[in-house]
Homo-oligomer: A and B are copies of this chain.
Amino acid sequence: MTTTRRDLLCDCAIAVLAAEGGRGLTHRAVDRAAGVPTGTTKNYFPSRDALLGGAARRMTRLHEQAVTRLRETTPERVSPAEVGELYPALLRRSLEDPTRLLAMAELYLEAVRRPAVRAELGRMAVANAEAGAGLRSAAGLAGGTRDAGVLDAYFLGVAVSMLALPAESLREVGLDDPYELGLGLFQAVVPGHAPTDTATVAGDAADHSSG
């Protein structure tokens, strides 16, 4: 898979967004980060909307590639518990290398005011939710794209909070244990939304409520 110059500029836009926020994202800043001549980013992405849209498209692509790799290395019949364990791992990764998550959060806030970013982000959110639903389906779990989308929204709020708040506050408000939180995210969308026709899910939910 080749990385084009356009991809490189998008990767740098993502890095700038994460490091400096929407405020720091200018065509010049991306030129500098990419080590290309001044004006290059403007040639590829004439407006700020185009640049933000390019960053969103690139994030969708990278996410799809990551999911494809994950599926290729996943046993054909993955267990519900194994899928559940993915969320603590994803959360830990977002905390250790928050670049993509922070860039995504910045894009969400830009999207509120910018229809072009909004449309691109909509495609990203659907692609992410479909990928999550695919994993659950591989484990024989109920719940489709809609449940996965709600989980993604919860995940965004938890990860942003964990990156933003001081450690002491995180302890007080129950946001200090990525393992427990990751499992909690996975379980949060199961009991209320999933139909009861899948024995695994129903049994799993029953275990917790009697716990």
B118 and A164 contacting across the interface, CB-CB below 8 Å:
yes
Assembly CA distance A172 to B133 (angstroms): 12
| CB under 8 Å from chain B, chain A span 98-127 | 98, 102, 105-106, 108-113, 118-119, 121-123, 125-126
Q: Beyond the given A146-B172, A155-B157, A191-B205, please list 20 additional residue pairs across the A-B interface where CB-CB is below 8 A.
A: A23-B23, A102-B109, A108-B160, A118-B164, A118-B165, A122-B169, A122-B170, A125-B161, A126-B169, A126-B172, A149-B172, A153-B154, A153-B157, A153-B173, A184-B192, A188-B192, A191-B208, A195-B210, A203-B211, A204-B208
Q: Which 6 pairs from chain A and chain B are nearest by CB?
A: A157-B157, A149-B173, A146-B174, A122-B169, A188-B188, A156-B157
- Please indicate which of the listed interface residues A102, A121, A156 has the most CB atoms of chain B within 10 Å of its own CB: A156
Is the C-beta of A86 less than 8 angstroms from some C-beta in chain B? no
Assembly CA distance A11 to B119 (angstroms): 31
Is the C-beta of A207 less than 8 angstroms from some C-beta in chain B? yes
Find the B residue at minimum CB distance from A117: B164
Assembly CA distance A184 to B149 (angstroms): 13
Looking at A27-35, A36-44, A67-75, A175-183, the stretch in contact with chain B turns out to be A175-183
Assembly CA distance A73 to B197 (angstroms): 42
Between A and B, 9 residue pairs with Cβ closer than 8 Å are: A102-B112, A125-B165, A149-B172, A149-B174, A150-B173, A155-B157, A191-B191, A203-B211, A207-B207
Residues of chain B with a CB closer than 8 A to A15's CB: none
Assembly CA distance A161 to B126 (angstroms): 12
B122 and A168 contacting across the interface, CB-CB below 8 Å:
yes
Interface SS majority for chain A: helix
B146 and A173 contacting across the interface, CB-CB below 8 Å:
yes
A122 and B166 contacting across the interface, CB-CB below 8 Å:
yes
Residues of chain B with a CB closer than 8 A to A195's CB: 208-211
